[in-house]
Structures are given as structure tokens and as C-alpha cells.
Amino acid sequence: MKNITIIGAGIVGIATASYLRRDGHQVTVVDRGLPGEYCSMGNAGILSPGSCVPIAMPGVLGNVPGYLLDPLGPLRLKWSYFPRALPWLWRFINSTGRAQIEATADALRSLLVQTFDAHLPLANHAGCADLIRQSGYVVVYEDEQSYRGDALAWKLRRDRGVICTELDAAGIETLVQALGRRYPRGLHLPEQGYVANPERLTKTLAAQFQRDGGVILQRDVLDIELGADGPLALLTDAGRLPVETLVLCAGVHSAQFSAKLGDRVPLEAERGYHVMFSDPSLELPMPVASAQHKLFVTPMEMGTRIAGHTEFAGIDAEPDYRRADALVAHMKRLFPQVRNVETTRWMGKRPSLPDSKPVIGRATRYANTFYAFGHGHIGLCGSAPTGRLIADLVAGRQPNIDLAPFRADRF
Ligand SMILES: Cc1cc2nc3c(=O)[nH]c(=O)nc-3n(C[C@H](O)[C@H](O)[C@H](O)COP(=O)(O)OP(=O)(O)OC[C@H]3O[C@@H](n4cnc5c(N)ncnc54)[C@H](O)[C@@H]3O)c2cc1C
């Protein structure tokens, strides 16, 4: 059995810690904050085994001016940050070739098809399986044109076995009464689902990990002390912490450490927002997505959450809550009956790579170091499958998917 140290107690770090602990390793998770209080706290909660479509799709560049000019649009770029975001955006645009998106869809599907299969054992063991809802979800379109504009994305899903049933206005109303017949086009994805409280999921798994003998230390990791064969210690705000085997799960902060370890990866903060509505009269049987506006509305145990959008402004910029205002406006368009009982607004930083795939696997130079970061829009779904794959690698078991598309040295 090994002594393993993990940087990061987000959902990826905690799921990885849980799977490694199940194998009997001594596992210590180090985080500057509390488990699940960073990006994993406020996401849309969607568990989507069918989320195999990359964000960079053909024609994406043509949509950008419209998105940026629309005050309610799904994309914002802080212009002073543009020169720093440019190399990432350049790679993003260059990821839109047909062969590349087909390959990315294959890779993402292989990872995410395991979503429920990998999450449920952890949630059952921790006593929080009630949070995992296999409800399906509905995607709506305001017009025929935008529905047809997404034809390739739906083909990519269907080609990989994702069930997507077409809906007309009446079909949408039958599934989600609160939407009425306002939307002419929609799809039902019955095999998808959601987590009714993503923060509680991470915290409950973390508490179970500790009950099982795992250790969580609240420390800021400042640097990694390197020897000839790999990391020797973490240098933290509370002193030197020796390491034998290291797993890097530091979300959007991972690139600074992977660079130190010899793997330069183009990781960017794709910032997104949420607003919680506590109106109890709005009851949704399943999440609702607006594909045009790049957002999800999810029924959670704390209320109804609208979450989404993308903002490029860097890791350190303050939240711009005008993005949350735009989400409120969308909420009222989707559900005009909703009462404006807002509770919280939140901004989180998706750890995103330009080709929409995470980095999962062994560090290029060092046998005692593993990476599990960069999950972008799919970190909640992908966390438990990733944790299980890392546990396989650490144990020397053959992973159940090809990890070559997720290598750190692919850039
Ligand atoms: C608006 C929005 C909606 C989303 N919706 C969905 C969704 O519906 N479904 C889905 O699957 N995904 C969704 N995501 C994406 C998902 O939330 C992320 O991919 C996921 O949370 C990333 O998890 P993580 O563990 O890698 O990172 P994080 O949760 O960010 O955890 C990283 C941890 O590392 C710690 N850390 C970093 N640096 C250091 C350091 N130097 N020292 C100590 N600790 C450190 C941080 O404190 C943090 O706790 C959404 C994201 C956003 C913003």
C-alpha cells in the first residue's frame, strides 16, 4: 500500500481520495480551504453521461460577435485580459476540425458513460445516494433555426449511443409543465440526471473519507520540492509535508504545479455564475437546459438554481455580477411565473483546457505523480470516473478506457 498525497479537495480530489482509500492506501488531501467550497460548490449539478460534445465546435467563432454584443449573451471577455487569454482562445479555435471533435467526443463519452456507475458506489457508501437523481433532463429551443444550428452536436451524441428524443411544444409541456408551450422545439435525454446539492455531495464524501481513515489537512500549497525522481515534499504555509506519491487535483490552479513538474498545459479559468431562487411554487421534475443561452435550471434541495455562461477575466478578477443579472433575466424568460425570491449569487472558475478534455494520467517525467484536473464543464460528472481511473493507475491495474487522449503532453 502507498502513502498518497492529493492537492485539492474539490469533487475531483475527494472522489479520487475516496477511490484510493477504498484500495487501502494511506491518503492525505491538502486544501487551502474546506472540501467542496471552490468550483465544485455552485455548479449546475448536471450528471450527464452523454456530455460528449466539445465546447469548441465548428462555427463557434461566427457566434462570438453576437454573443458579445448581446447583454444577456452567454459569453463575456474582459478586454484587458484578452492578450493573456489569446493563446488559449487560439488553441480553442484550432480544436474545431471535424476529425478532432469526433475524437474528442469518443474520449469524453468513454469517460462520462461511467458517470452513474462510478458515482453511485461512493454516494451509497457515504449515505448520500439521495443526492444522485437519475431524472433525465429537457433541452429547449426558442426557434427552429437555433435547433437546426445544433444538428451536429446532437448527431455526435446519437452516434455514441446517447438517447435524445425530439419533443414538440406539447411534448415539452408534458414533461415539464412549468415550461408551458412556449418552446417549439426540444429534446429529452432520459439517461441523464443531476446532483441535488453539489456542495453537500463533496462534503459528505469528504466526511466519509475521513471516517474511513483518510486525512484532510487545511494548508495552502506554495510549492513542490523536487528530487531527481519526482516530488519529495509539498512546501505549505504550515511547513514542509513529505510526499511519496502525489495526485494533482487543484482545479484551475493545477497548471502552476504541473509546469513545475515539467508538464505545461494551457489551463484557463472559464468563469461561470449561478443564481438560486427559493420560490417553492416552482417545481421542476428534472433540469431544463437552454442550449441557445448555454445555461441549466436545476431543481435542488435548496431551491432552483440557474447556472451557466462563460467569462474570460482570469483567475483573480472579482466576480462581475452583471452576469448573474443576465441569468435572472433568462430565468424570468424561461419561467415567467417565477417569483423573484433570490437567495444567493455565485461565481466559479471552471478549470478548462481548450480541447474540452481533462488531463488524467501519470506525469510525463515522474512515475510517482498523477494528474486529475482540467475537467472544465464536466467536472462533477467526470470526477468519480476520474478518481476510479487514477486508483487503477496507482494500483497498476489496466484502466477500463484508453487514457491516451487525456495525456498532459498532448499540447
Ligand atoms: C456555473 C458552472 C456550472 C457548472 N455546471 C456543471 C455541471 O452541471 N456538471 C458538471 O459536471 N460540471 C459543471 N461545472 C464544472 C465543475 O463545477 C468543475 O469542473 C468541477 O467543480 C472542478 O472540480 P475540481 O475538483 O477539479 O476543482 P475545484 O472544485 O476548483 O477544487 C480544486 C481545489 O483545489 C484547491 N487548491 C487549489 N490550489 C491550491 C493550493 N495551492 N493549495 C491548496 N489547495 C489548493 C482549491 O482550494 C479547491 O478546493 C460547472 C461549473 C460552473 C462554474
Ligand 1 atom closest to the Cα of residue 220 is: 42
Q: Does the pTM of the predicted model rise above 0.75?
A: yes
Please report, for the chain, the start and end positions of each structural domain, with discontinuous segments joined by +.
3-40+200-265+356-410, 49-196+267-352
Q: Which of 288, 350, 371 most suits a substitution to test ligand 1, by most atoms within 8 Å of the C-beta?
A: 350
Cell numbers for 105: 467526443
- Looking at residue 335, what is its pLDDT? 94
Q: Is the CB of 250 under 6 A from ligand 1?
A: yes
- Looking at residue 69, what is its pLDDT? 82
Residue 150's CB is within 10 A of a number of other CB atoms, namely 17
Q: What's the gap in Å between 328 CA and the centre of ligand 1?
A: 23
Q: Which of 14, 31, 197 most suits a substitution to test ligand 1, by most atoms within 8 Å of the C-beta?
A: 31
Dump pLDDT digits (tens) for 116-156: 999 999 999 999 999 999 999 999 999 999 999 999 999 99
Does CATH place domain 3-40+200-265+356-410 in 3.30.365.10?
Answer: no
Q: Is the CB of 38 under 6 A from ligand 1?
A: yes
Residue 314's CB is within 10 A of a number of other CB atoms, namely 15
Q: Is the dihedral of CA 87, 89, 90, 91 positive or negative?
A: positive
Q: Is the CB of 248 under 6 A from ligand 1?
A: no
Question: What SS3 class is residue 361?
Answer: strand
Dump pLDDT digits (tens) for 183-221: 999 999 999 999 999 999 999 999 999 999 999 999 999
Q: Is the CB of 221 under 6 A from ligand 1?
A: yes
Q: What's the gap in Å between 38 CA and the centre of ligand 1?
A: 6
361, 371 Cβ separation under 8 angstroms: yes
Q: Which residue owns the Cα nearest ligand 1 atom 27?
A: 251
381, 359 Cβ separation under 8 angstroms: no
* Angle (CA) 262 271 11, round 5°: 65
- Looking at residue 71, what is its pLDDT? 80
pLDDT beneath 50, residues of the chain? none
Q: Is the CB of 350 under 6 A from ligand 1?
A: yes
CATH of domain 49-196+267-352: 3.30.9.10
- Looking at residue 97, what is its pLDDT? 93
Q: Is the CB of 378 under 6 A from ligand 1?
A: yes
Question: What SS3 class is residue 373?
Answer: strand
Residue 402's CB is within 10 A of a number of other CB atoms, namely 10
Q: Amino acid letter at 35?
A: P
